[in-house]
């Protein structure tokens, strides 16, 4: 029960959301319900236009499924960046239910639109839950990494783990994909997003897949160990 990937939803695609600080909290709809487009965090006005951008491309774990917009770990990260890293902003282009194929299809547009200096890729769990061939997931992640690096952005690759019922060969290969791609392209790597909370059932919503609001700061701090040094 230590590995809790997020499932693919049927609705609720969101793109490039920019969330301003102080904005009223908004709730996501029912499971993978309609999402809001264009969410950015990190201040406004002329300074924001010149800010360097961190672009997050993830699934429901990064989109803040089941939480108010201000509660998810990406929003909490954006608040920290606004306070401690002036000159940076966050664009959360995560989509509930996203797959690596969806990310690979969207990455060029997000890069062109946002011109990020850092790209955080948190995808793959929905592929695994559907038993997608590992080679396909790997190729999609590779395409995203290549596109980001081709746009002169640093990459942080965030991994996930699959439950053991999928079989040892699949689960080990799934985890190995992230490690080998990170080594090949010399990206930063966070092997397992949910590591700080994976063994704590009380840290998850009723679906036993998505962390509750009080667990989100732990995810923020976990990701920050890799992301923070990239913003220097």
Enzyme catalytic residues: 60, 207, 210
C-beta of residue 53 within 8 angstroms of C-beta of residue 78: no
Residue matched to tokens 């709730």: 27
Classify residue 124 as exposed, middle or buried by CB count within 10 Å of its CB (0-12, 13-18, 19+).
buried
Strands 52-58 and 88-92 turn out to be parallel
Give the H or E element holding residue 135: helix 134-150
Q: What's the N-to-C CA distance of the chain in angstroms?
A: 37
Residue 117 CB-density burial (10 A; 0-12 exposed, 13-18 middle, 19+ buried): middle
Rounded CA gap, 88 and 68, in Å? 23
Q: Using the Cα atoms of residue 231, residue 102, residue 35 and residue 209 in order, give the sign of their dihedral.
A: negative
Structure tokens at 81: 């960046």
């Amino acid at each position: 029960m230590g590995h809790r990937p997020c499932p693919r939803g049927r609705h609720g695609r969101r793109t490039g959301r920019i969330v301003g600080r102080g904005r009223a909290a908004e709730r996501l709809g029912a499971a993978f319900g309609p999402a809001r487009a264009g969410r950015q965090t990190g201040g406004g006005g002329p300074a924001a236009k010149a800010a360097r951008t961190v672009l997050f491309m993830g699934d429901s774990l990064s989109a803040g499924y089941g939480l108010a917009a201000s509660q998810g770990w990406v929003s909490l990260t954006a608040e920290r960046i606004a306070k401690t890293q002036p000159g940076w902003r966050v664009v959360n282009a995560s989509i509930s239910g996203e797959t690596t194929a969806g990310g690979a299809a969207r990455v060029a547009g997000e890069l062109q639109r946002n011109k990020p200096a850092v790209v955080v890729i948190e995808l793959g769990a929905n592929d695994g839950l559907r038993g997608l061939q590992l080679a396909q997931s790997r190729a999609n992640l590779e395409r995203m990494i290549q596109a980001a690096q081709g746009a002169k952005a640093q990459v942080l690759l965030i991994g996930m783990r699959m439950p053991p019922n999928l079989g040892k060969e699949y689960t080990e290969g799934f985890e190995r994909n992230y490690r080998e791609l990170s080594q090949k392209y010399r990206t930063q790597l966070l092997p397992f997003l949910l590591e700080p909370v994976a063994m704590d059932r009380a840290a998850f919503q009723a679906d036993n897949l998505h962390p509750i609001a009080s667990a989100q700061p732990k995810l923020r701090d976990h990701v920050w160990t890799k992301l923070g040094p990239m913003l220097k």
